[in-house]
Structure 1
Amino acid sequence: MPTHLVITTLQAAGLSATSNVLAQYITAHREKKPFAIHVRPLLQFVLFTFLSCPPNILWQDFLEDKFPGYTSVGGERMLHKPNTARKFLFDQTLGAFVNTLAFVAAMAAFKGKGWRGVQREVERDLVPLMINSWKLWPLVALINFTFVPVNQRVIVASVVGLFWGIYLSLFAALD
């Protein structure tokens, strides 16, 4: 595995763990209970990050290879708007769908649900979670595709994902 995949995955896992612990703290505070770290959901969240981060890095590399974001015109580097639009469209549709489906299915499976239980949770949660994700991630994707080098996009998304992860942790805790 290339070094940037390992480093970025470890960074993303650390941010994921942080977001889950913060979500647990928020939940304890809301419920007026003493704060204690629940290891199982923490490990589930981190495991999901270890599984999902490398494919997301490869996805970003694929999008950039297929649709280069910048061209050189007369020695000047210029944003290639049609390619950026294509990357954005693929990322916010196919990429978002696959990531959201994987998250919902993995969290259900981690909770010990069988195939039918996973299917029910996907049917119940996929569309609402996708809609909520489109309130944040299109802006992040646009910034990433226009200003951030491809090898740093997943970590930038992971930093934003620290806050999204709090939301997802709270979402995953619902049953």
Structure 2
Amino acid sequence: MPLPPIVSSCLLSLAIGCVSNVIAQKLKAYSEGVPFVFDQKLFVQFAVVAVVTTPVNYHWQGWLERTFPGWKPVKQKRAATSDDAEKAVVVKDDDENKRAVEEEVRVRDWWNVFRKWFTDCITMGALLNTTMFLVLMGYMESKTWAQIGNNLRNDMWPIIYDSYKVWPIANFFSTTYCPVERRIVFLSFCGLIWNVYLTIAATKL
């Protein structure tokens, strides 16, 4: 029996967060020229962040798709064939008095694609995810709300700026060109890279 989409998304996000955290810890130790020591506390923190934020993002993406659907139905005409009459397809005469069939097809709505991309990667989505990350990390570090607010003021915009180097391009190509069955794999790879960055950023908070 397949898992509900939100559950499978949470499990995938958890796996990505854990793997990327370990990779980031090793890269940080290597760059500093010190022996690698596994930071269990940081590992657990990223696991918690993944579990808490994934359902929020799942519903956020659903809202984006409902608000800015990437496809729209349009009616197109094509030349009628003998099968059209047999299948009782409505046949009309076009302006040149040729038998034609009017069909409803789906075409990409580029204006909605842009609005969805802009809302998710450039404005509200970036603010939502960065805020959740900083608040949750600060809370798990037992910081006061004043300290968390200070982190939001000082670290939010640098993190969002760095996110513009990854997510706008990744999001555009995934929603525009990746087949649905391969989209999760593509975004998971991008998420792996981004979570490595977040792990390194979290050690500096």
Aligned mates of 1:130, 1:7 — CA distance in 2: 27
Tell me what 1:144 maps to. Answer: 174
Tell me what 2:34 maps to. Answer: 33
2:161 is the counterpart of 1:161: no
The residue type paired with residue 129 of structure 1 is: I
Which structure is higher in RCO with an 8 Å CA cutoff and minimum separation 6? 1
Q: Is the 8 A contact 1:4 1:151 kept in 2?
A: no
Q: Identify unmatched segments of 5+ residues in structure 2.
A: 77-103
Q: Is the 8 A contact 2:16 2:188 kept in 1?
A: yes
Counterpart pick for 2:119 among 81, 90, 94? 90
TM (norm. structure 2) is: 0.78
Q: Is the 8 A contact 1:48 1:106 kept in 2?
A: yes
Query: What secondary structure, in the 3-state scheme, does the structure 1 residue paired with 2:170 have?
Result: helix
Aligned mates of 2:5, 2:186 — CA distance in 1: 14
Tell me what 2:81 maps to. Answer: none
Aligned mates of 1:67, 1:42 — CA distance in 2: 36
More helix by share: 1
User: What per-residue deviation string (whole Å, max 9, x for no partner) do you get for residues 81-108 of structure 1?
Assistant: 1111111121120111111111112112
Aligned mates of 2:181, 2:52 — CA distance in 1: 18
Q: Is the 8 A contact 1:60 1:153 kept in 2?
A: no
**Following TM superposition, by how much is the alpha carbon of 1:25 offset from its aligned partner in structure 2, in angstroms?**
0.3
2:122 is the counterpart of 1:121: no
Aligned mates of 2:11, 2:111 — CA distance in 1: 33
* Equivalent residue pairs, number: 174
Give the RMSD, CA atoms, in angstroms: 2.0
The residue type paired with residue 110 of structure 1 is: M
Tell me what 1:44 maps to. Answer: 45
The residue type paired with residue 142 of structure 1 is: F
User: What per-residue deviation string (whole Å, max 9, x for no partner) do you get for residues 127-165 of structure 1?
Assistant: 111111111111112113213467976664332110111
Query: What secondary structure, in the 3-state scheme, does the structure 2 residue paired with 1:174 have?
Result: coil
Aligned mates of 1:154, 1:98 — CA distance in 2: 21
User: What per-residue deviation string (whole Å, max 9, x for no partner) do you get for residues 4-32 of structure 1?
Assistant: 10011101110110010001001111222
TM (norm. structure 1) is: 0.91
1:61–1:156 distance in 2 versus 1, CA, 3 Å: farther
1:99–1:18 distance in 2 versus 1, CA, 3 Å: same
1:11–1:36 distance in 2 versus 1, CA, 3 Å: same
Q: Which has the larger radius of gyration?
A: 2
Q: Is the 8 A contact 1:61 1:150 kept in 2?
A: no
Q: Percent identity?
A: 31
Q: Is the 8 A contact 1:57 1:154 kept in 2?
A: no
Q: Identify unmatched segments of 5+ residues in structure 1.
A: none
Aligned mates of 2:66, 2:41 — CA distance in 1: 38
More strand by share: 2
